[in-house]
């Protein structure tokens, strides 16, 4: 499975703006197959756990508040070179720095409300995917 899957969330700002469909279309057009998908909502405890790696960062509190502010879509995506190709597709964390045509350039509102999350390594793709989905081994 290494190298073939990544994990994404469509974040509360993009869900609120009715951009789920447009973002999934970009993901499919870029050659990713959706292996698992869930429309759900994090509470502050689960958002804090998901982003625990950032807990010393100054933006952590606001990030947890934002990520638990509304529904999200969590998904596991498959493609060769999935992690790197997906990060290319979504663009830089800060939408002001994201390349034109990337998902964040098109749909993000700010560095915090940046429309989507994408795993930064194969290892984290597994950890983050397992946070939302069980029986990942069948993928």
Catalytic residue ranges: 117
Rounded to a whole number of angstroms, the minimum distance from the CB of residue 107 to ligand CMP is: 13
Any idea of the CA torsion for 122, 126, 128, 129, to the nearest 10 degrees? 120
Nearer to ligand CMP, 78 or 112 (CB): 112
Q: How far apart are the first and last CA of the chain?
A: 7
Nearer to ligand CMP, 46 or 93 (CB): 93
DSSP state for residue 18 in the 8-state scheme: T
Rounded to a whole number of angstroms, the minimum distance from the CB of residue 137 to ligand CMP is: 25
Q: Is 117 in the site for ligand CMP (CB under 6 A)?
A: yes
Cβ distance 95 to 104 under 8 Å? yes
Residues in 62-81 that interact with ligand CMP by CB under 6 A: 63
Please tell me whether residue 35 adopts helix, strand or coil conformation: strand
Q: Is 111 in the site for ligand CMP (CB under 6 A)?
A: yes
As given in the structure block, the two tokens for residue 39 are: 């429309």
* Binding region for ligand CMP (CB under 6 A): 54, 59, 63, 93, 111-112, 114, 117
């Amino acid at each position: 499975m290494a190298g073939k899957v990544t994990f994404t969330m469509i974040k509360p700002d993009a869900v609120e703006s009715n951009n789920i469909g447009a973002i999934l279309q970009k993901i499919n057009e870029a050659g990713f197959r959706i292996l698992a998908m869930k429309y759900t909502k994090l509470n502050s405890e689960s958002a804090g756990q998901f982003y625990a790696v950032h807990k010393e960062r100054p933006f952590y509190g606001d990030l947890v508040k934002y990520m638990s502010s509304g529904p999200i879509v969590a998904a596991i995506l498959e493609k060769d070179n999935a992690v790197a190709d997906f990060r290319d597709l979504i663009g830089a964390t800060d939408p002001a720095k994201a390349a034109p045509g990337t998902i964040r350039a098109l749909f993000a509102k700010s560095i915090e409300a940046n429309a989507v999350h994408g795993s930064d390594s194969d290892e984290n793709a597994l950890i983050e995917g397992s946070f939302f989905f069980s029986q990942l081994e069948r993928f």
